[in-house]
Amino acid sequence: MTGTEGATGGRAAQLKHTGLRPGWTTGACATAATTAAYTALLTGEFPDPVTITLPKGQTPSFALATEDLTAGDRAMAGVVKDAGDDPDVTHAALIRATVRLLPPGAGVVFRAGPGVGTVTRPGLPLDVGEPAINPVPRQLMRSHVAEVAARHGGTGDVEITVSVDNGAEIARSTWNPRLGILGGLSILGTTGIVVPYSCSAWIDSIRRGVDVARAAGRTHVAGCTGSTSERTVLSAYDLPEDALLDMGDFAGAVLKYIRRHPVDRLTLCGGFAKLSKLAAGHLDLHSARSQVDKTFLSQLALTAGADAPLAEQVATANTGLEALRLCQSRGVPLGDEVARRARDEALAVLRGAPVEVDVICIDRAGTVVGRSDPA
């Protein structure tokens, strides 16, 4: 597969200054494999490399990693996914498409092969029982099948089975099991391009998590910054797994989506330092994009009952955790104050949406060190 051949125009210009190389989505790879396999069925030859057109007009080319035309009515082609410089768990996965001819009028039928999941819960953009091939990749494959059919005299009636080598194992590192997508990975992508560190896939998973929880009738969900905070929430509330949102650093993504798709109650749980950033008005809690403001913490300490010398110690503390420990040693509930301020910021982002919010701050061991509703 050629490097950044498809990242032309504005997207390439946006990435050029970062020095990071974009890559291709699983949907783009599946489309390339489908195009090559169907072309081989109609012509007897696999195009290699195979070129496709992405939704925004880019035309990347993909080298084939494997191909098979031994059966008369079907062909298989495979492409190795290149995620560029993004830390994508599907990087280097072999994505195969097997295309089988169907009778005229049958249309395009999608199947999940080994390593591609099946939808088992409502709330996703696909019906229960459907292969986890998202709508945009499906449309991309349909349009390329139609183009190949028009070019080489086919009917465009085919069955497309997408598979991913080791996909079931890779999927354990994704949200798929929690979202009710079982048996493997999802075939994803809206533009066909993976933008390094854009975090769009994570944010999309948060949104799908909210959708699945709402479809399951959950009225209380929890946005957690990691596995430790998840365990804390589970010990505090009797929540099922599909009510837990892997928020990570993206508090803003959770709040903005729930603003548009409300639930009765939202619990936010995370480390004291991260949630102090939310309390200070930051919606992205990653250390590269927001920092713990110890001057702000010293002001909160004063509000929580600290005297001036303690507030000065908080302002000059090395870390947020040290600031917390200083206050704990003096009986000043800085953790509760941070949680209350974080809840206030969350409510401000929700803009009056009918959602009750509570916040739980923990330390690295998972001990609760602050709550917005300590009673």
Tens of pLDDT, residue by residue over 150-193, are 999 999 999 999 999 999 999 998 889 988 999 999 999 888 88
Number of domains in the chain: 2
Residues 37 and 119 in one domain: yes
Residues 336 and 358 in one domain: yes
Query: Which pLDDT tens digit goes with each residue over 221-265?
Result: 999 998 899 999 999 999 999 999 999 999 999 999 999 999 999
Q: What is the CA radius of gyration of the chain?
A: 25
Burial class (CB in 10 A: 0-12, 13-18, 19+), 91: middle
Residues 176 and 274 in one domain: no
Of 34-38, 61-65, 198-202, 366-370, the poorest mean pLDDT is in 198-202
Question: What is the span of the domain harbouring residue 349?
Answer: 200-371
Residues 186 and 214 in one domain: no
**H runs (alpha helix) in the chain:** 9-16, 26-43, 135-152, 167-171, 176-179, 200-215, 227-236, 251-260, 272-279, 294-303, 308-315, 320-329, 334-350
Residues 128 and 146 in one domain: yes
Smallest CA-to-CA distance from 190 within 182, 205, 200, 199 is with 200
Residues 105 and 159 in one domain: yes
Please tell me the pTM assigned to this model: 0.73
- Spatial neighbors of 60 by CB under 8 A, at least 6 apart, are 1, 2, 5, 6, 7, 24, 28, 32, 51, 52, 54, 192
Query: Which pLDDT tens digit goes with each residue over 273-312?
Result: 999 999 999 999 987 678 899 999 999 999 999 999 999 9
Residues 163 and 258 in one domain: no
Residues 172 and 205 in one domain: no
CATH number, position 61 = 3.30.2110.10
Tell me the C-alpha to C-alpha distance, in Å, between residue 82 and each of 1, 86, 227, 316, 364. Answer: 8, 9, 29, 46, 35
Residues 75 and 135 in one domain: yes
